[in-house]
Amino acid sequence: MAIDLTAPGPLERALGRKDPGVIVIDEVAGMLLSVVLLPRSIPVLVTAFLLFRLFDIWKPFPARESQALTGGVGVMVDDLIAGLYTLVLVMGARALFGVPA
């Protein structure tokens, strides 16, 4: 039995919206990815949070395009991309400039 990852999920169907605000697991996963390889200091966490929100709102390529996917995949992928961009940027800033500490 194959699972259709492009079909709207049951909660999306029930609420009649794509990526309803009551689903937050995508935000949690994206934020966790943004700090997975970083030290858990206050400056790192605040910087990562702010950058993650910026990328989550701005949705740089390919995050915006990934929203065309339906169901759980479309809900999750754009936030994981935002988290990955954040992780790379913060790791790069730490390697090049030593901040955030």
Query: Within 10 A of 17 (CB to CB), how many other CB atoms are there?
Result: 13
pLDDT digits over 58-83, tens only? 999 999 898 888 777 878 999 999 99
Of 38, 31, 32, 52, which is closest to residue 95 (Cα–Cα)?
38
pLDDT of residue 23: 78
Please give the structure tokens belonging to residue 47.
């910087």
**pLDDT above 90 (res 39):** yes
**pLDDT above 70 (res 29):** yes
User: What pTM value is reported for the model?
Assistant: 0.83
pLDDT of residue 19: 65
pLDDT of residue 47: 98
Of 56, 49, 92, which is closest to residue 76 (Cα–Cα)?
56
**pLDDT above 80 (res 11):** no
